[in-house]
Structure 1
Amino acid sequence: MTRTLTFGMSVSLDGYVAAPGDDLGWGVPSDEQFQWWSDRVAATGLALYGRRLWETMSSHWPTADQQPGATPAHVEFAGRWRDMPKAVFSSKTIPVDWNARLVTGDAVAEITRLKSEDGGPMDIGGATLAAAAMRAGLIDEYAIVTHPVLVGGGAPFFTALDNWVNLNLVETRTFPGGVLLTRYETRR
């Protein structure tokens, strides 16, 4: 049995995971949405990160639970994040820690290998890394958390594809603030 690979991120209504300048300020989650992300982290067998997303996450979450005013939800997420096994994909050598290992070789080949192993579900994050997996047909599920904002440009959630990818809708959920989760499975 192969592991499943899910690409899930917050996205603007016009399809971007980050606004120009890597601005993420439009995607602040409600408490309910934050708990949904935390529960995903708890259920993830292996998280695959691109370099830029790794740098963003690892600059905050390793010590977020020790910051003044850390909420119980942030304390829980920080612990789950540190404990979750991670693979960080980068073409250059960068420091990784907190239950992570660095992958500098062919990302598609490594993701293909990881999918063939036993283990829990895998999540992939980072638009560039996910685009390579998307083009290679490796993504089994898309979890799109759409925020009601138009940012006008930046890093797109979806990449250009050579072939259509047919999907089945498996879940919809509304979060406070008009944020909508849609989960789709790839039809194989």
Structure 2
Amino acid sequence: MGKLIYAANTSLDGYLEDENGSFDWSVPDEEVHAFWNEHERGIGTSLYGRRMYETMSVWESDDWLTGEPAVVREYAQIWREADKVVYSSTLAEVSTARTRIEPTFDPEAVRRLKETSTADLSIGGATLGAEAFRHGLVDECVLLLCPVVVGGGKPALPRGVRVDLELLEQRRFDNGVVHVRHAVRNAT
């Protein structure tokens, strides 16, 4: 059975994006990128909302990767090898391999996917992540806390939902980013 892991870069004050929708403050250096590469190696299926999928689909193309460091090119390969499910009622087609569209987020279908998966699953995006938390589907939460306060924007974690956590791991990177990994105690 696979675990559903919510993973995100977040500002120290808890936002994925600032009030202007920018997340340029969370672009990883090579050490942090290598961490994400290792994390993503264990993911068999990634669950995305439309906006997160459109942001991540850049990894399908090699055009821009030519001059990038090896760690960035490696992430592209890891991303391509995972299956992807995009939850969208407006997206008509996908531009990436190993990707399917589901018109709505079905908690029971995600439970079945977890039960039948031989690898872990990830869920990305604040809105979709919040739905998974509300339905008790998230088993672990992996956050990289960036050394920046943005003062507002899109919250990384859902509002109005209590989630009890157990710290499993933490790490400080040379650039000041702090990784925390928590198990969700009340996951169903």
Aligned length: 185
**Is the 1:88–1:101 Cα contact (8 Å) retained in structure 2?**
yes
Question: Normalization by structure 2: what TM-score?
Answer: 0.92
Question: Normalization by structure 1: what TM-score?
Answer: 0.92
| Cα deviation code 1:77-127 (max 9, x no counterpart) | 111111111111112233222211111133323322212223200110010
Q: Which of the residues 163, 166, 169 maps onto 1:168?
A: 166
Q: Which moved more, 1:110-119 or 1:31-40?
A: 110-119
**What is the rounded CA distance, in whole Å, between the counterparts of 2:105 and 2:46 in structure 1?**
17
**What is the rounded CA distance, in whole Å, between the counterparts of 2:89 and 2:109 in structure 1?**
13
Structure 2: 5+ residue stretches without partners: none
**What is the rounded CA distance, in whole Å, between the counterparts of 1:20 and 1:98 in structure 2?**
32
Tell me if 1:67 matches 2:65: yes
CA positional deviation for 1:66: 5.4
Equivalent residue, structure 2, for 1:16: 15
**What is the rounded CA distance, in whole Å, between the counterparts of 2:18 and 2:3 in structure 1?**
29
Provide closer, same or farther for how the CA distance between residues 109 and 14 of structure 1 changes in structure 2, counting only shifts above 3 A: same
**Is the 1:169–1:184 Cα contact (8 Å) retained in structure 2?**
yes
RMSD, aligned α-carbons: 1.6
The alignment partner of 1:61 has SS state of helix
CA positional deviation for 1:46: 0.8
Structure 1: 5+ residue stretches without partners: none
Identity %: 36
Provide closer, same or farther for how the CA distance between residues 66 and 29 of structure 1 changes in structure 2, counting only shifts above 3 A: closer
Equivalent residue runs for 1:25-174 within 5 Å: 25-58=24-57, 60-64=58-62, 67-96=65-94, 97-162=96-161, 164-174=162-172
**Is the 1:135–1:161 Cα contact (8 Å) retained in structure 2?**
no
CA positional deviation for 1:64: 4.0
Runs of 4+ aligned structure 1 residues displaced above 2 Å come to 64-68, 105-110
The alignment partner of 1:178 has SS state of coil
**Is the 2:65–2:73 Cα contact (8 Å) retained in structure 1?**
no
